[in-house]
Amino acid sequence: MESAEQIPKFTAMIICTVLGFIPILIWGYIFFRKHHEYKKVILITFIGGIVSVTPLLVYKYLWQFFPWINAFLWTRSINTDLLGLSGFILIPLPVLVTFMVVGIIEEVSKVLSVRLVDNGIIKHIDDAISLCIIAALGFAFIENIIYFYNISQIRGVHQLAGPFIFRSIFSTFAHIMFSGIFGYFLGVAYFADPIYQEESRKNQHHIIKWLHKHLHFKKVVLFRDEKILEGLLIASGLHAFFNIFLEMGWTYLIIPFLFMGYLILNYLFKKKENLKNYGRFLPERAKD
């Protein structure tokens, strides 16, 4: 049987790059086969997603020089079980905190890549969801390559079949799910002005109104920041739990977990207001 040492590293990298791109191509076709007119936007956003891996790689690289920033180390001092179901499932708090930190870094990086490439492109909430999914595919592409390459060097290229199937079906879609859900909240934040005005007329957002009345914060800005924070926490939380399932060996939970995520993402895509053309939200236009 051919070992990892018998395959040149360059050849292994080529193989891993091809394997890493196959699921991206398939998932990209599934989500964007009807958007041929936006090829340039899709390409630029995809590249932005690739670049968004950089903060996480830099963060991990700096561990060797600044060990104290390693979330896996500073959470070890926390020896409390946060969640338990009658002793059946226990999730250690250090594990949850660590993966929440990693999830936040990854989701913020992907969304920043969308914000950097957007130049008036987002006209509907649906556009924000789509762009975040494209960025997620770029991120997953590089992550797949790194993951496959590490396995090829440790266990050999012949051991990539199982990881390829798992990452193609589950891990890549997980990134799509996290970022797509975050994209919905980002889209609402983009159009915070008109959306808040509509919802305010329905007598919603009492806390925002209270903060505006007593602390004089601008209501639309509060609404926008609330939606971004809400999306970040939900996406990062889902990301953390997915990583926890892998870390703890609870693979039997992954399929129902991702199926639930698929239903949520499908629901968000089908919301009628997501295709409403609100126009761009500009902070300087925010109303009191």
Question: Contact, 95 vs 247, CB < 8 A?
Answer: yes
d(CA 6, CA 287): 66
d(CA 136, CA 133): 5
Q: Give me 92's structure tokens.
A: 């250690």
Question: Would you state the pLDDT for residue 174?
Answer: 94
d(CA 125, CA 268): 9
Question: Would you state the pLDDT for residue 175?
Answer: 93
Question: Would you state the pLDDT for residue 123?
Answer: 80
Question: Would you state the pLDDT for residue 91?
Answer: 58
Q: Delimit the domains of the chain by residue range.
A: 7-285
CA angle 215/217/220 to nearest 5° reads 150
Question: Would you state the pLDDT for residue 286?
Answer: 39
Q: Is 286 left (phi over 0), alpha (psi -120 to 50) or beta?
A: beta
* Alpha-helical regions (H) of 155-205: 161-166, 172-190, 192-200
- Per-residue pLDDT 10s for the chain (288 aa) are 444 456 788 898 999 999 999 999 999 888 877 665 567 788 888 998 998 888 888 877 787 787 777 766 665 555 554 444 434 455 566 666 677 777 888 888 888 888 777 666 778 888 888 889 999 999 999 999 999 999 988 888 888 999 899 999 999 999 999 999 999 988 888 887 777 676 665 555 545 554 444 344 566 777 788 888 888 888 988 988 898 888 778 888 899 999 998 888 888 877 756 556 655 433 333 343
Q: Give me 184's structure tokens.
A: 């919905």
d(CA 43, CA 24): 12
d(CA 225, CA 90): 33
* Amino acid of residue 159: Q
Question: Contact, 57 vs 159, CB < 8 A?
Answer: no
Interhelix angle for 172-190 vs 93-117, to 10°?
A: 60
Question: Would you state the pLDDT for residue 282?
Answer: 34
Classify residue 34 by its DSSP letter: T
